[in-house]
Structure 1
Amino acid sequence: MPWQVLDPKTGRYRDVNVGAVTTPTADLRYAMVAPLGESLNRIGRYETTTGKIRWYDLPFEVSGAYISPDGRHAAVLHYGWIGQPTSGPEMAVVDLTTGQVKPFELDAATLSAAWTTLDGPDGTVFDVPQLPLSMVSWKPDSRHFTLGNVILDLDGRRTGVLPVPAGTLMLGLAPDGAGVLVNPGKKAGTFALTDRAGGLAREVTVTWPCPSDPPCPNWAPTFIGWRGPDQILIWHSPAPDKSDATIEALDLRTGTRETVHHIGGSPTIDRIIIASSAHLSDRARKTTAF
């Protein structure tokens, strides 16, 4: 079944026969796509207004490709790095204009910054990615990106580290690229934004009554994206198959919540992509924005 991708000008959806679509650029013009089938070493740049795809070949199998806000570069992760050892480059940066691919390896400190340790309910200790939704986040300048809390440039060189308080789980990069959203104490439903020095600020805890005997694994809210500099979008579902879900906007300053979208009676939700509506036409905004 093809993906349906929105044309930001017409407000219509176009069928696109690809394996996956990523978060688009800031102006909604481009998004990265993965091919159907077994071509795991290719990525494509999809243009929303024309439906055209330009393909790029990589020197390794790809697990994720993340396009810069200006649409000029993509940071790409090696498939073998996710959960298993790999030889050769762990990442690459692709110049989407020239097609040049610049692979590079990551040092041990950078790799470890992208992972964290969690304790399972049965006492099992396991490692998980620091950023479960997006291993890579681009800075607003489109010249730097983060892997975990490490800042890298377009050549894969480490240029800085975002301070993350001890005992927290990093959830994502703040829209201004200066701070990070974290889960303090790794407690379900708790969110806080750090300041530039890494201090915790604006801590908010969200709770819902459990519809059955605890634990309620799907009842805890999950961060899925930003709705501005001070608001995040959170998602929760009481249904075990995640077929019924609510998306709320949570204000990190005041703790107030607003339901912005309800997905009721839908098929199982595998992924939610959040994009700004600032560059939608009036027609498209009226039918799709929330």
Structure 2
Amino acid sequence: MKVYFIGAGPGDPELVTLKAQRLIRSCPVILYAGSLVPVELLSEAMPGARVIDTASLHLDEIIAQIVQAHERGESVARVHSGDPSLYGAIGEQIRRLKALGIDYEVVPGVTSTSASAAALGNELTLSGVAQTVILTRYAGKTPMPEAESLASLARHRATLAIHLGITRIHKIVEELIPHYGADCPVAVCYRTGWPEQQLIRGTLNDIVEQVRRAKINRTALILVGEVLDPAQFDDSWLYREEQAHLYRPKVKPESPRQVKRDATAIPPPFNTES
């Protein structure tokens, strides 16, 4: 028996890893965050699987469900949105499982940051503009460490991905303008990957009014940075003609390198035992 903390991605059923899909199909118990994970992702659960929406459960009740499954010898798919290592609240669950001696494994998922950048058609790291992405959240019920205040992070002028802050976007803008300027591009990505997805582009100067008009007050990621609408940026060094490296030597072969495939030497499949 094992508990699998599974990253279900941002909401698009196709943005789920093969491993996550296999575990959802094979685990007899599925605990999922119904407020953030679309039930469609669980449509291929095994017949007779116990599928429980944990949105209304507190931590003790969730652990109780896991303990009951453990006593029955049944593995549990604990399905979280995005990637469970980011704002997934898995740390407190893992702490309980360790104390109980229950085995677990974390299965990564597509983050809302990467999915939102893809939906926007943007790269978040552009040469000459920004080479750092800071994933953070805004202080609310859970306080932020003093060294991680938004103003402190903003001094880097890196690309920001701000979680759990849409209801305080007016305060976020006030803290960012002194560092990024009022004309800095912003994108608010609401329920990326869901049918009701909304992508709102603007600047720090006008994004608050746009969000209020759209009546977005939850489940949104705020992206900030010049990479969202750069005036210009440099080509990468990697693909420059004059830049030689191991796979592109200065003296090139007469024709592009082709990968030869030997049908008799197909590698074994990935290990699917875990």
More strand by share: 1
Q: TM-score, normalised by structure 2?
A: 0.26
Q: TM-score, normalised by structure 1?
A: 0.25
Q: Which has the higher contact order (CA 8 A, sep 6+)?
A: 2
More helix by share: 2
Report which of the two structures shows the higher radius of gyration computed on alpha carbons: 2
